[in-house]
Chain A
Amino acid sequence: MNPIVMALRGLYGVWLREITRATRDRAQLIGGISRPLIWLLILGVGLNPYFRGEVYGEVRFVIPYTYLQFLFPAVIVLNIMYTSIQFAVSVIWDREFGFLREVLVSPMPRWLILLGKVLGGATVATLHGALVLILARFADVTLSLEQVALALLLMFILAFGLTSFGVILAARVRSFEGFGVFSNTVILPLYFTSSSIFPLDPALTRAQQAVTYPEWLVFLVQINPITYAVDALRGVLINFNQFAPAMGVGVIVAMAVVFFVVATIDFARQ
C-alpha cells in the first residue's frame, strides 16, 4: 500500500479526533463566544467615548480608525491565543489518561502525530477566531472576500504557531490544576503588551513613543511577538500597520516554524 496515502490517513485521523473532541466541548465554545462579546461589546463600547474625537484635531491618539475597529483584530488574536494555548490541556489529557500510548505504538511517525494534533488544534482556534469576524458589522469593519481569505490564512498560521507553543508548555506542566492559572498568566500579559487595547502612536517617531509611554512598556510591546501578529491582522482587516507590514507576517511564520520544531523535539523525547 502507498505509504503516503497511509500517512495522510493517519494525519486525517489525528486531525479529525481533535475536531470531534472540540465539537463535544461546549465550555470551549462558550469561551469562544463570550470573549469577543466581553472585549468588543463591553470593553470596546465602554472605552469608545474616551478614544473618540470631540474637538477636531484634539484627538490624542491620531490612529486613523475608531477604537472598536482598532480593537477588532486584537480580539481575534485573543480568541486564537486562548483556544490554541488551552490546547495544551488536550495534550496533557492524552498523556495523563493513557491515550497517548495508543498513538505512540501506532506506525505513524511522531512528528506526523504531532502535526495532525497541531493542525487540529489550529483549525479549532482559527474557527474561534473566525467567530469574531461575525461581529465585523458591529465594529464597522468592512471586509472584502480577499481580506477575509487573507485574514483566515494569517489566523491559521498564527494558530498553528500558538498551538505548537501550547504543546511546548504541556511538556513542561505537570498537572491540569496548574495549567488553568498558568495559561492565564501567559495569555493575558502577552495580550495586554501586544498593543492590542492601546496603540503606540504611529504618527510619532520611536523617540516620541517613549514620551507617550514609559520606555519599559514600549520595550515590552516591541519584544512581544503577539504585537506583530496583531499588527499583521490590522494590516489586513483595517488597512493599518504600526510596524512594517512584512514584519507581522514574518513573525507569525517564524513562530509557527520555530515552535513546531521545538514541539517536535519535545514530543519525540516522550
Chain B
Amino acid sequence: MTSPQPGPEAQSLSAIAISVDGLSAAYAGKTVLDNLTLEIRRGSSFALLGPNGAGKTTLLNILSTLRRPDGGSARVAGADVVRQQTEARRSLGVVFQDSSLDDRLTAWENLEFHGLVYGMAPKRRRERSAAVLALVELEDWRDEIVRSFSGGMRRRLEIARALLHEPQILFLDEPTAGLDAQTRVRIWRYLDELRRARDLTVLTTTHYIEEVEGADTICIIDHGKIIAQGSPEALKAQYGSRWLHLTPRDQAALEAIQAARPDAQPLGAHGLALPADDGAMTDAFLATFRDRLVEVRFQDPTLESVFLSLTGRQLRDRADDQHNADKAAGRRGGRR
C-alpha cells in the first residue's frame, strides 16, 4: 500500500478539483450511477442538473465520502474518496439538502461545534464564525436557538457553516431552496467572489434554473449517465429550440393546426407549442393560420427547454416529488 499517491498539497495546485473516473453505484439492485466520468476545474462553478433518480445525490454522497462507490474511483482535491477519506473531507464544505443543524444549539454554538470538529484554533474559530455570520446577515441571531429559525435562516446558517473552515470545494445540494431572491443573489455573489479570490470550487445540484444560469459548466445527468455537458450558452445553442407558443381562437382552429402540424405539443388547456427553429416553416404557418389565433409568442431557448428536449421531461414540476423521494432515500441511507 505504498504506491506513491500524490499528496493533497501537490494536487491542490493542479487545475482539477474533482475528478470522477468510471464511477458506478447501485442501490437495491438498481443502477444509480452508470460508469460516470467527469472532471471539475478548480475555481469553477459546476452545476448538476437532473430529474428524480438521476443519481445526483448519490454522486454527491460518494464525493463527500458518505457512501462507497461500487466501481470506479473519484478524487476530491486530489484525495481518493475511499482511501484518503480524511484528506478528502478536510477539503470539503457540504450543504445538505435537508437541514443538518442542531436545532437545540444557538447559531453560534453550531458554528463553534463545526470549528472544533474541523480542529480549528480558538482565535481562528471566533474570527471565522463572526465573518461567516456577517456574510449571511445572522449576527443579530447568533445567540438564538436554531429551532426558532425560519427555513431561509437555517439555510443561510448552513451555508455559513460549510464555509467556516475555508474549504477548497463546496458542495451545495439544492442550496438556496426557500431563500428569498435577495439573499440568493447575495450568497451567489459572495460565492463568486470566493471563487475568484480563493479558487473555491462550487458543485451544485438544483432544480432552480435561475441558479444554474450563473454556473460555468452545467452537467445534465439522467439514469446515472451524463447526457449533456457545457456552458449554459453552449447548451442552449446546441440543444435549445426556439418555440412558438400560440392560443387558437376555437376548438376547430386547434384541431386544424394539429392536423397540419403533427409536431405541435399541447400547452396548457387551450394552447399549443410548435418548434420554431425553421424560420421559413414558421412564416408559412403564421401566414396560413394568422386569422385563427388569439395570441402568438416566440419562446427563446432556455435551460428548461434544453432539459425538456434532452429528457422529454419537465424539470420544475417534479421538484416537489423529487424532494420528497430524496428525503425518504436520505433517511433510509442514514439508518444503515
Contact = CB atoms under 8 A, between A and B. Distances in A.
A13 B65 contact: no
A10 B334 CA distance: 22
Interface stretch (B10-18, B105-113, B280-288, B302-310): B105-113
A161 B32 CA distance: 40
B65 A105 contact: yes
Interface stretch (A106-114, A133-141, A195-203): A106-114
A174 B335 contact: yes
Contacts of B120: 9
Interface stretch (B93-101, B228-236, B255-263): B93-101
Interface residues of A, number: 34
A269 B105 contact: no
A6 B122 CA distance: 11
B161 to A, nearest CB: 8
Interface stretch (A32-40, A74-82, A95-103, A147-155): A95-103
Contacts of B119: 1, 3, 5-7, 9-10, 107
Contacts, number: 94
Contacts of A10: 116-119
Contact of B116 (A16, A97, A101, A270): A16
A269 B114 CA distance: 23
A174 to B, nearest CB: 7
A60 interface: no
A97 B99 contact: yes
Given A107-B90, A270-B334, A14 B100 contact: no
A10 B104 CA distance: 19
Contact of A95 (B86, B117, B334): B334
A268 to B, nearest CB: 12
B37 to A, nearest CB: 23
Contacts of A24: 104, 145
A21 B104 contact: yes
Nearest to B336: A270
A102 B116 contact: no
Contact of A269 (B94, B99, B336): B336
A21 B335 CA distance: 22
A17 interface: yes
A224 B136 CA distance: 54
B334 A99 contact: no
Of the candidates B114, B118, B161, the one having the most CB atoms from chain A within 10 angstroms of its own CB is B118
A7 B117 CA distance: 8
Most buried by A among B119, B335, B336: B119
A12 interface: yes
B169 to A, nearest CB: 12
B334 A100 contact: yes
Contacts of A101: 66, 94, 96, 100, 334
A104 interface: yes
A16 B112 CA distance: 10
A14 B117 contact: yes
A105 B64 contact: yes
Interface string B161-175: 100000000000000
Q: Which of A1, A17, A100 has the most CB of B within 10 A?
A: A17
A98 B98 CA distance: 7
A20 interface: yes
Contacts of A9: 116-117, 119-120
B75 interface: no
A12 B116 contact: yes
Contacts of B123: none
B226 interface: no
A269 B333 CA distance: 11
Nearest to A104: B66
Contacts of A109: 86
Contacts of B96: 98, 101-102
Nearest to B95: A102
B102 interface: yes
Nearest to A8: B119
B101 to A, nearest CB: 7
A16 B65 CA distance: 25
Interface in A189-229: none
Contacts of B94: 101-102, 105
Interface in A12-28: 12-14, 16-17, 20-21, 24-25
Interface of A: 1, 3, 5-7, 9-10, 12-14, 16-17, 20-21, 24-25, 95-109, 174, 269-270
Given A96-B331, A108-B117, 8 more contacts: A13-B117, A14-B117, A99-B102, A101-B66, A105-B94, A106-B118, A107-B117, A269-B336
Interface of B: 64-66, 86, 89-90, 92, 94, 96, 98-105, 109, 112-121, 145, 161, 330-331, 334-336
24 contacts: A1-B119, A3-B119, A7-B119, A10-B116, A10-B118, A13-B112, A13-B117, A14-B113, A17-B102, A17-B105, A20-B104, A21-B102, A21-B104, A95-B334, A97-B103, A98-B99, A101-B94, A102-B161, A104-B65, A104-B66, A105-B89, A108-B117, A174-B335, A269-B336
